Structure 1
Amino acid sequence: MKKILVSACLYGNVCRYKGDSCYNQKVAELGKDNVLIPVCPEQLGGLPTPRHPAERVGDKLISDAGTDVTEEYTRGADFVVEIAEKNHVDYCIMKANSPACGKGIIYDGTFTGKKCPGNGLATEKLLKAGFTVYTEDEI
């Protein structure tokens, strides 16, 4: 039995910026034989649900209203790494394209739906801490 850190929205928690989830059956099925540890970096960082969408612009996270939410995303990402470390997780499954959780490809900061190479902030910190990270598209 493995311990798997998962983006809470993939597990069905209503925590996305739109006030919904993006439940993923494959992720949920992993819970039959493993321990799933759901996290939402945005909520852990103190952001409400629903909230304005944000995208990475260089090292900053900016909402579509022009608000700098880097501090909240950083706080949440740090909590996610702490939770992963304290629970000795085997690996992580994070939400693709997300400014917090995306891996390899994220939205480009223009709020036009275009994507670019990059990682979400929580995923970046998880990888730096030595954790293996996948997205729901990779399972």
Structure 2
Amino acid sequence: MHKILVSSCLLGAPVRYDGSGQQLLHPQLIAWQQQERIVAFCPEIAGGLSTPRDPAEIVNGKVITNTGDDVTPEFQLGAKQALRLCQQYNIRFALLKESSPSCGRNTIYDGSHSGIKVVGMGLTASLLEKNGIKVFSEQQMPALVKALA
């Protein structure tokens, strides 16, 4: 059975920038957990960032907090560690948190820290896709279920 990389916050872990989780309650996700197919991972924590932390958005290819700090190196490190984990466990599918500067699959925030979303990918989602790992957001659960069937 294929393992699936899943954003830790989607499993309820309090790893988001504001110290919260955003648990996805989906019967298939629960079944995968019971089958021990889930590999939980937060690239921002793995990259060395704390919880809570200043919110960050992608601005001209860099990840910048709302206070102006450049946290691109931490986001890049987390993305590389996610890729290594996928390679280690032969993971071909990932379920990541939409709109995150790390995990966003289809949308990210526009960099103005004003709540506006644009089409784009986070650093981790982009690196995984470039390396042949299929990335899905929590809004694409039916497609992920179908891909794993």
TM-score under structure 2 length normalisation: 0.90
2:84 maps to which residue? 82
Any conservation in 1 of the 2:92–2:132 contact (CA below 8 Å)?
no
Query: Where do 1:1-139 residues align within 5 Å?
Result: 1-26=1-26, 27-33=29-35, 35-139=37-141
| SS of residue matched to 2:118 | strand
| SS of residue matched to 1:31 | helix
Distance in 1, matches of 2:92 and 2:63, equals 28
| SS of residue matched to 1:25 | coil
- Counterparts in 2 of 1:58 and 1:29: CA distance versus 1, 3 Å: farther
Aligned residues: 139
Cα RMSD (Å) of the superposition?
Answer: 1.1
2:147 maps to which residue? none
Any conservation in 2 of the 1:4–1:34 contact (CA below 8 Å)?
no
Unaligned runs of 5+ in 1: none
| SS of residue matched to 1:106 | strand
Distance in 2, matches of 1:58 and 1:128, equals 19
Amino acid of the structure 1 residue aligned with 2:79: A
| SS of residue matched to 1:88 | coil
CA displacement 1:75-128 (0-9 Å, x = unmatched): 111001000110101310000000000012111001111011110000000001
More helix by share: 2
Distance in 1, matches of 2:52 and 2:131, equals 29
